Amino acid sequence: DTEVTQTPKHLVMGMTNKKSLKCEQHMGHRAMYWYKQKAKKPPELMFVYSYEKLSINESVPSRFSPECPNSSLLNLHLHALQPEDSALYLCASSQGARSGGNTDTQYFGPGTRLTVL
Amino acid sequence: SQQGEEDPQALSIQEGENATMNCSYKTSINNLQWYRQNSGRGLVHLILIRSNEREKHSGRLRVTLDTSKKSSSLLITASRAADTASYFCATANFNTGGFKTIFGAGTRLFVKA
C-alpha cells in the first residue's frame, strides 16, 4: 500500500471557523509533511514531522497548527484563516532520514482544496 | 521560498517528440527528485538522483545532475498525450530530523496528439 489519503477533498470555511485537515499513511513511514500550493505555483513546505516530533516549521503563521498523534496520522488545525490562505494543501510521507538515507522519496496525497471566504 | 528556476516555464510539443526540462538550484543538496502533477492533484514521484550520481534512467525518463553547475535536466523521450502535466524538480537537504524539500517553479508540458 503506497497510498497517502487526505480528508476532506474540498473544504470551504469562513474566517471565524475552526476546521482540521487529516492525512493518513500505512507505509510505516516516519516522516510526514504539510505543503501549501497556490494555483500555478510549486508546493511550499510548511511543516515536517520526524518520528512524531515537529522538526521543521517554515515560519508558518500560528493560525495553522500541526499535530501528529501517531506515526500514521497527521493533522492540520485551522483557525481564523484569511482568504489568502485559500490553496491546495498537500500531505506527504517518506521513510524518514534515519532509515532512508539520502534516497528518501516522498509520497503525496491528493490534497485538500481549501477555500476561505 | 523556491530553491531555483525551471525552464522552460511551458513547453508544447507533438506526440512522439522528446521533451527536455531544466532545473537550477542554489544550495547544496543530498538528492534531487522530479515529480509530475496533473491539474492541481497530488504529486507523483518520477525519479530520484543522488548528489553523487550524474545520470539516471527510468523507462522513457532520463535525468542528469551537474552539481558543479547546480543544475539538472529531465528528458522524456517519445512523448505521449498522457504526459501532459506540470513537472517539478525538488531538492532535498538533510536537516536535523528530516529532509527539507524545496520545489522549483515547474514546467507545464503540453503534448499534442
pLDDT band at B64; cut points 50, 70, 90: very high
Range of weakest confidence among A52-56, B39-43, B102-106: B39-43
**A78 or B102, which is more confident?**
A78
The whole-angstrom separation of Cα B5 and Cα B64 is 16
Q: Do B42 and A90 touch (CB under 8 A)?
A: yes
Q: How far is A75 from chain B (nearest CA, A)?
A: 17
Range of weakest confidence among A18-32, A53-67, A91-105: A91-105
**What whole-number percentage of chain B has pLDDT above 90?**
72
Residue B48 has a pLDDT of 93
Instruction: Give contacts of B92 with chain A, Cβ < 8 Å.
Output: 102, 104
Range of weakest confidence among A81-90, B88-97, B99-108: B88-97
Residue A28 has a pLDDT of 92
Residue B1 has a pLDDT of 41
Residue A105 has pLDDT above 90, yes or no: no
Residue B53 has pLDDT above 90, yes or no: yes
Torsion angle of C-alpha atoms A34, B104, A97, A73, degrees rounded to 10 = 20
* Contact predicate B14/B36, CB 8 Å: no
The whole-angstrom separation of Cα A16 and Cα A21 is 16
**A4 or B28, which is more confident?**
A4
AA identity, residue A104: D
**B62 or A104, which is more confident?**
B62
Residue B99 has a pLDDT of 75
Residue B103 has pLDDT above 80, yes or no: yes
**What whole-number percentage of chain A has pLDDT above 90?**
78
Q: How far is B89 from chain A (nearest CA, A)?
A: 9
Residue A102 has a pLDDT of 63
Nearest to A106 among B50, B51, B101 (CB): B101
